[in-house]
Structure 1
């Protein structure tokens, strides 16, 4: 039987070196990473002010250094125009040169912090807008300069204003990815419990949930997340809150679900033991949403951006399935997940082959230890759909062959697999150039042949003898050995027995 495989985002798994895993990840996720960049779902996020609507951001309000200095001096003096000055400054700070000029002014950050914590609510909002613009800076010194504001940004996460809370969350999320110093400070200041409390208080506000998911995902992508951040997250109420967003009901919202699903993905691929996530129902919840999305996709309803949710859900389910031998039947009894995975596989095989491959990977993990789901592929007539996808490359055919091998391992299904036309398809895959495809095809043939002579006879009628004979001079020893064994021990011996039985006795 094919062993369950853990997703390749985990260093040190399946015999790969860290560098090999990085290369595979870059190769396999290129399309999805581009989609996420286009929609600003990773890296820093910049929110436009409400009064800007959909207009392009104003980047060069200040024309030179004197303008920035003048604005800063105006902020130091209390006046009715202070709010307007802050508003102008926040727009000016979208320019990198203006950011660097501003942070070099003596006490500039402390003046801004003072306005952030002052009694004037409108000035507080405009101050956090300024910090939000600074947090979006690509320059590391600007990010570090914002550190004095982080304790207050965390405190304000429990506020009542959605706009203010969103700005605080996105600012914190922008600050944490690239600076170890900032990340250490935020952890020490209690960003994990602050996020948990924020989500608890505003769990029905989808805009805040999206922002909180973004901030948490930024933290979870840190290189030291497995040691310093993930244990804190798993010990908090955050996993349950993340899962609550992934409910396919009338309140379902795509954007926050995407952010929360990516957070769960980073959690599931972080370590060997996912018992905490399994205990709070992560496998069941993610599977239910996949079933819902698979059904919608099968009916032709592909909402824009839905693939960005499907991808992390697939990885969550696949990784959780690989945790323990008892997971599939114990946590999942709805074979609808099998249907959904096949639907996603077919829907994305042409447009997003990486997603199709991941769907097949999850199907492999689902069928590897569960007779229930292997049986579902047979009884729901899904095998022909899988067989039709064997000509597709990019790892899709390899993973589908693994799934078919899981089914063939259950001896009672072998005759039905042959009746579905698998033998003729295997004759085609044996001619492919990929060694992994050829090896898997030979392994499946071995399982099919072991089920009875009828399958062997059908294979011979498909021209199987000449096909196996071509491998006698194959360069790869393992492939050659398997092919010769099948030819001599099954095909030729079965043919000779048939010949003997047909000779009349004298």
Structure 2
């Protein structure tokens, strides 16, 4: 596409194909940096009020004999309350790395703890899960791998009825995934992806009015489901050591359908708390869409139609009104969706979404760059796409962006102008008549912008 029209625009010392290559390299670097930034650290879920109520917050190192005593009391004690107290004491000790090492060396300790986790006493199950959670927070891979016998049960509990207990299991699994490759390899065939998918689907359904009413009667409180959505980010993100498997197991399709559900929930309700779930869904989708495995699996999300784009814009409008800091998450996903998909770029145009997209430009420099990047994705698809973009509100918006002092904003604006001049020659004439050359002059001295500024000046003067 570019090579056929390359002669129309040749910046000084830098051809159009070279500019396109540089753009792809910049985007690849940005995506890599963003994935690394989202490597969420392990999380420790402790109830500070509970710790204070128990009267002891000081971590005590336990010896082998003490660990054995607490395990025996928890396993065989005559009163459930005393058995629970033994596990509480063990949990406090497991907050210390030395106790953790001693625990995993002790023969039969993990087997006993897993037995308590699967007992028919809810209080013992909860305390056993809290002990495992303390172990999962260890920075020693050996400790994480010692928890392997418990992973299948933790996965099973994700389909349970206690939101707090499910949240605890989710965080524990997330911590184990972060620390150990061995754990990741075991959890994938055990079915962690479908299990997480079921959790996030349930989490979204609890925000609709009928489901929320049912949740109040069924669960002690529904609010932890929003927090569960947040802890899905490290779980899914660290599982991306095998993106192809994630995609083939349906992660893209599930998250894509959840995106549609979230947009519907925003329209049905006030949306309170939905951002807690929307953020990890958008991030995980964005990360998966950057992988080559997406193409091998047969398309973006196997339903790459207007529904996806429309749902995303509903969420963008919701974020703009309630939490603008989340706009970059949605725009990053839109960037990844449109980068290699002419059909989704067509949807953007057929739904008349260019103007709503431009309305986001004033929010921040970060948002401006992402909006302009999405517009570049559309423009580079060729003349037919550029005809739909120009004329319209794009010219005054770009002139406004050229007044910015942010080099990245200006650079992305110049890139969009280059594409428009290439595929829509009338754009260069309009730009010239609207004092575009004067807008470019202030950027002539910026080294990283000079080539593009000169190329645009030459093209505008030719017209």
TM-score range, shorter chain: 0.7 to 0.9
Are 2:221 and 1:255 aligned?
no
**Aligned counterparts of 2:241 and 2:303: Cα–Cα separation in 1:** 21
Higher helix share: 2
Question: Aligned with 2:62: secondary structure?
Answer: helix
Contact 1:328 1:369 in 2 (8 A): no
Contact 2:43 2:137 in 1 (8 A): no
**Aligned counterparts of 2:28 and 2:84: Cα–Cα separation in 1:** 45
Are 2:354 and 1:383 aligned?
yes
**Aligned counterparts of 2:283 and 2:332: Cα–Cα separation in 1:** 9
2:66 corresponds in structure 1 to: 108
**Aligned counterparts of 2:276 and 2:395: Cα–Cα separation in 1:** 36
Select which of 38, 41, 52 maps to 1:59: 52
2:264 corresponds in structure 1 to: 295
1:338–1:348 Cα change, 3 Å: same
Select which of 83, 89, 92 maps to 1:130: 89
Taking the TM superposition and a 5 Å limit, the aligned residue runs for 1:446-465 are: 446-465=418-437
The offset of 1:442, in angstroms, is: 0.9
Task: Report the number of matched residues.
Answer: 418
**Aligned counterparts of 2:277 and 2:457: Cα–Cα separation in 1:** 47
1:309 corresponds in structure 2 to: 277
Question: Aligned with 2:169: secondary structure?
Answer: helix
For 1:405-439, what per-residue CA distance to the aligned partner results, in whole angstroms no more than 9, with x for missing partners?
Answer: 11111221212222341111111111211211111
2:366 corresponds in structure 1 to: 395
Contact 2:71 2:86 in 1 (8 A): yes
Higher relative contact order (CA 8 A, sep 6+): 2
Taking the TM superposition and a 5 Å limit, the aligned residue runs for 1:245-284 are: 245-247=199-201, 248-249=204-205, 250=211, 255-256=224-225, 258-259=227-228, 262-263=231-232, 265-269=234-238, 271=240, 273-284=242-253
For 1:133-192, what per-residue CA distance to the aligned partner results, in whole angstroms no more than 9, with x for missing partners?
Answer: 444x4x4335445545433222333333444323322321122213416624524x5233
Question: Aligned with 1:395: secondary structure?
Answer: helix
Contact 2:135 2:144 in 1 (8 A): no
Rg larger in 1 or in 2? 1
Are 2:289 and 1:321 aligned?
yes
Structure 2 gap segments, 5+ residues each: 1-19, 206-210, 216-221
**Aligned counterparts of 1:246 and 1:6: Cα–Cα separation in 2:** 29
2:178 corresponds in structure 1 to: 221
For 1:44-89, what per-residue CA distance to the aligned partner results, in whole angstroms no more than 9, with x for missing partners?
Answer: 3238xxxxxxxx54738xxxxxxxxxxxxxxxxxxxxxxxxxxxxx
**Aligned counterparts of 1:157 and 1:275: Cα–Cα separation in 2:** 33
The offset of 1:480, in angstroms, is: 1.2
Select which of 174, 191, 196 maps to 1:242: 196
1:256–1:156 Cα change, 3 Å: farther
Question: Aligned with 1:360: secondary structure?
Answer: helix
**Aligned counterparts of 2:238 and 2:400: Cα–Cα separation in 1:** 36
**Aligned counterparts of 2:237 and 2:166: Cα–Cα separation in 1:** 20
1:180–1:285 Cα change, 3 Å: same
Contact 2:328 2:366 in 1 (8 A): yes
Contact 1:469 1:484 in 2 (8 A): no
Contact 2:373 2:412 in 1 (8 A): yes
2:75 corresponds in structure 1 to: 117
Deviation larger for 259-268 or 173-182: 259-268
1:385–1:266 Cα change, 3 Å: same
The offset of 1:244, in angstroms, is: 1.5
Question: Aligned with 1:289: secondary structure?
Answer: helix
Select which of 345, 350, 358 maps to 2:316: 345
Contact 1:398 1:440 in 2 (8 A): yes
Deviation larger for 117-126 or 207-216: 117-126
Question: Aligned with 1:333: secondary structure?
Answer: coil
Structure 1 gap segments, 5+ residues each: 34-40, 48-55, 61-90, 495-506
TM-score scaled by length of structure 1: 0.73
1:485 corresponds in structure 2 to: 455
Deviation larger for 448-457 or 290-299: 290-299
CA RMSD of aligned residues (A): 3.3
TM-score scaled by length of structure 2: 0.79
